[in-house]
Structure 1
Amino acid sequence: MEKIQLSFPAQRRLCGKACAGVVGSGDMEALYTADQGKTLTVEIMTSIDNSDARWKALFDRLSLINGLPAGLLIIHDFGATPGVARIRIEQVFEEVSYA
């Protein structure tokens, strides 16, 4: 297991908490807590070693598409594909935006 911590400038603010996915399903879970800061802190616990560059590239892309919200995003990854990872992350951001 590898722990990765990333930080990105936030371009928007949300309120609330959300959870998407289930790590026990061989997938991943994303837990997001919004705050009024200026950064998105991402803590990733993954079963895939040396995946820092993949995660950074995913968040760089998400930042360009929708802008990242301020807060804390905790990810428990059990080998999810980049597509599934993106869906779970977008799900928590969307859920909080409608709260």
Structure 2
Amino acid sequence: METLYFEYPAAKTLFHRAHVGVVGSGDLEILMEPSTEACTKVTVRTSVKGFGKTWAKVLERFFNTYDVAATVTINDFGATPGVVTMRLAQALEVEQDHEIIKR
């Protein structure tokens, strides 16, 4: 197991928690929670060591586009960069669905 930490500036507010995915072969779980800080803090726990640079690039690209203030926990079991991006987008979609349901 390897644990990685990343931080990105954020300007947009996240209002609700989101939980997507499962930890399993080739997949990952993402827990996304609102933060009062003007940044996104990401903790990645992965079963695959040595891919810190790849994680940094994938997360940097995503959070430069979607600059939400959040605390993100990713529990990975060998997901590809495409799956990581898809799950992150899915977490934002789940968070936005809370707003729609609430109205």
Query: What's the counterpart of residue 94 of structure 1?
Result: 93
The structural deviation recorded for 1:68 is 2.1
Query: What's the counterpart of residue 60 of structure 2?
Result: 60
Query: What's the counterpart of residue 46 of structure 2?
Result: 46
Gaps of 5+ in 2: 99-103
Instruction: Give the whole-Å Cα distance in 2 for the aligned partners of 1:14 and 1:33.
Output: 8
The structural deviation recorded for 1:67 is 2.4
Query: What's the counterpart of residue 18 of structure 1?
Result: 18
Instruction: Give me the TM-score of the superposition, normalised by structure 1.
Output: 0.90
Identity %: 34
- 4+ residue stretches of structure 1 with deviation over 3 A? none
Gaps of 5+ in 1: none
**SS of residue in 2 equivalent to 1:70:** strand
Aligned length: 98
Structure with the greater alpha carbon radius of gyration:
2
Instruction: Give the whole-Å Cα distance in 1 for the aligned partners of 2:86 and 2:94.
Output: 12
Instruction: Give me the TM-score of the superposition, normalised by structure 2.
Output: 0.87
